[in-house]
Amino acid sequence: MHDDFYAAIDLGSNSFHMLLVQQVAGSPRIISKVKRKVRLASGLDHDSNLSLEAMERGWQCLELFAERLAHIPKENIRVVSTATLRLAKNSEIFCEKGQQILGQRIDVISGEQEAALIYHGMAVSSNSADKRLIIDIGGASTELILGQGLSPIVLNSLNMGCVTWIERYFSGGLLTQANFEVAIEQAAQVLASVKQDYLNHQWQLTLGASGSVQAVQEVLIAQGETEQVTLAKLEALMVQVIACGSVDKLALVGLQPERAPVFASGVAILIMLFRNLSIETMVASGGALREGLIAQLLSGSDALTEHDVTARTCQHLQQRFQVDTLHAQNVAELAVNIATPFGFDTIELAMLSCAAQLHEVGLSVEFLQGQRHGAYLLANLVMPGFTTEQKKLVVALVGNYKNPLNSGLLEQQACCNAERVHDLISCLRLAVIISGRYQGQRAEQIVISKQVNGLVVNVKKSLAATAPLLLAELTTEVELNPRVFLA
């Protein structure tokens, strides 16, 4: 194994990318970049189901990627998917086989999480301290991030992309003025709800982080223009594109054939953004989602910290549902302490901590079935920073922190296998019981060990003699939970 090698894989809606780096003297050195056009978004039907043909294209690409991952430690690899697999109702089918091919978990990240990673990747790739707007036009979504230094200020992921827009508004591949006008207007409607959030700020620099922006810049340079993208240049490109008549006849100096099918839609979205956000100039820039993932891996920041979007989400939900934060923190620390020796990975421990922080949100509705109410609330709330599967895992944990186990919630999550999620739940349930209300010190007199069939709890005689209620609750837990035993 090469412990100093790291890999970031981005399963985008238009292309799949893999970035391999080696850490040398504390800094990443790029070893390899691999990009394959998959056009996953083109496989979405009107019911948001992904076609088998599109899945096959994706799986074939992952088989190529898998060859490069064989000698890299699993903890040094991160695989994420974006808008198309967020939208696809049958994304589990693709992810399940994809995970088998790669031998690695695929995280379907939220739009906000994608935007945050893109900004981080751009920030660590440049030295600018200016306030900047970053634009990333993907196949099925467009991320707009306004920030300064390493800190994003406004970030949004909009449901429009170069693949979805070409299919929706350039029917039959016709490149007409009317089609451009409709595509631009529809894009403006998508932006409308968040437009003012950006106009409330002033920024000094606009950067493009996507293939669409790179393609525009390459065409401009090939035609003798400077690399700076302006509205006038974009509108001139639109005239050239319309003159070609159709996508299959689109041929501009400097335009790579692989970008031609989605070039017009990318130009339309950019024209809309320049007009609506009063952008004067933009340049393409290196560093985006994959670079953000690598930076995260190198810094070891997968775990929840007070600075993470996930931590802010937990804090917000605790405030909203009036959670006893001190008790929740005590339970979280004890749950993680119980689980840490048992081989759970960083993400699993982070989700356990989050679930412990939020396990009592349902008490704001009613006590007896608080775990059911909590699971329902979290399942139906937007939770920025969490991937789809991470959210389902948190819901499964919260929905099972007390009372008989709800097997339905366990089956809905695919973040970890049945045995691991059951043991995570056991760690949470035991932490809740042992902590009581501010009685976490009792944990020092309890030893919990892991066996093949579950967790074994050994209560010291001195504690058992003075805490009959605790012993009764642990006995009840053994009756309710087939993977917990009393020594």
**In the predicted model, is pLDDT for residue 307 greater than 50?**
no
Can you give the residue range of the structural domain that contains 90? Answer: 5-109+291-297
Residue-wise over 427-451: b if at least 16 C-beta within 10 A, else e? bbbbbbbbbbeeebebbebbebebe
200 and 99, same domain (yes or no):
no
Q: Is the dihedral of CA 373, 360, 349, 450 positive or negative?
A: negative
27 half-sphere exposure, CB direction, 13 A CA radius: 3
277 and 189, same domain (yes or no):
yes
In a domain, 487, yes or no: no
CB-based burial label for 360 (10 Å; 0-12, 13-18, 19+): buried
Q: Is the dihedral of CA 326, 152, 114, 168 positive or negative?
A: positive
26 and 71, same domain (yes or no):
yes
CB of 89 within 8 A of CB of 114?
no
41 and 77, same domain (yes or no):
yes
Residues 6+ apart with CB under 8 A from 27: none
270 and 320, same domain (yes or no):
no
In a domain, 256, yes or no: yes
In a domain, 478, yes or no: no
Question: Dihedral of the CA atoms 112, 83, 274, 118 (nearest 10)?
Answer: 50
Nearest to 163 by CA among 96, 244, 82: 82
Rounded Cα distance between 37 and 35, Å, is: 7
> Sheet harboring 446-451: ordered strands across?
446-451, 454-459, 484-486
Work out the pLDDT band at 24, boundaries 50, 70, 90: confident
In a domain, 481, yes or no: no
For tokens 């009613």, the residue is: 366
Q: What is the CATH number of the domain that holds 271?
A: 3.30.420.150
278 and 308, same domain (yes or no):
no
In a domain, 114, yes or no: no
Rounded Cα distance between 149 and 130, Å, is: 7
**In the predicted model, is pLDDT for residue 133 greater than 50?**
yes
- Write the single-letter amino acid at 359: H
Q: What is the CATH number of the domain that holds 365?
A: 1.10.3210.10
266 and 338, same domain (yes or no):
no
**In the predicted model, is pLDDT for residue 128 greater than 80?**
no
The DSSP secondary-structure symbol of 44 reads B
Rounded Cα distance between 292 and 358, Å, is: 28
**In the predicted model, is pLDDT for residue 302 greater than 60?**
no
On whether the pTM is more than 0.75, the answer is no
Chain mean pLDDT for the chain: 91
17 and 79, same domain (yes or no):
yes
* Residue 27: strand, helix, or coil: strand
Rounded Cα distance between 328 and 347, Å, is: 19
| Higher-scoring residue by pLDDT: 110, 432 | 432
CB of 373 within 8 A of CB of 403?
no
Note the pLDDT of residue 33. 92
In a domain, 470, yes or no: no
- Write the single-letter amino acid at 5: F
For the chain, what is the domain count?
Answer: 3
pLDDT, mean of residues 126-131: 70
Final residue before a domain boundary, out of 274, 297, 320 = 297
Q: Helices 325-339 and 346-358: crossing angle, nearest 10°?
A: 150
Q: What token pair was written down for 20? A: 């391999």
**H-helix or E-strand containing 89?**
none
Nearest to 132 by CA among 113, 114, 154, 117: 154
pLDDT, mean of residues 114-137: 83
Residues 6+ apart with CB under 8 A from 189: none
pLDDT tens digits, residue range 156-175? 999 999 999 999 999 999 99
Note the pLDDT of residue 286. 65
pLDDT, mean of residues 388-406: 93
Residues 6+ apart with CB under 8 A from 12: 38, 40, 81, 82, 84, 138, 139
Nearest to 266 by CA among 208, 305, 326: 208
pLDDT, mean of residues 402-408: 94
pLDDT tens digits, residue range 51-75? 999 999 999 999 999 999 989 999 9
Residues 6+ apart with CB under 8 A from 316: none
Note the pLDDT of residue 253. 94
pLDDT tens digits, residue range 335-392? 999 999 999 988 899 999 999 999 999 999 999 999 999 999 999 987 866 777 788 8
178 and 315, same domain (yes or no):
no
Q: What is the CATH number of the domain that holds 25?
A: 3.30.420.40
Q: What is the DSSP pairing of strand 205-208 with strand 151-158? A: unpaired
Nearest to 9 by CA among 98, 124, 130: 98
| Higher-scoring residue by pLDDT: 298, 166 | 166
279 and 314, same domain (yes or no):
no
105 and 130, same domain (yes or no):
no
Nearest to 19 by CA among 98, 125, 116, 110: 125
In a domain, 19, yes or no: yes
Rounded Cα distance between 74 and 145, Å, is: 30
- Write the single-letter amino acid at 226: T
Final residue before a domain boundary, out of 266, 297, 328 = 297
270 and 137, same domain (yes or no):
yes
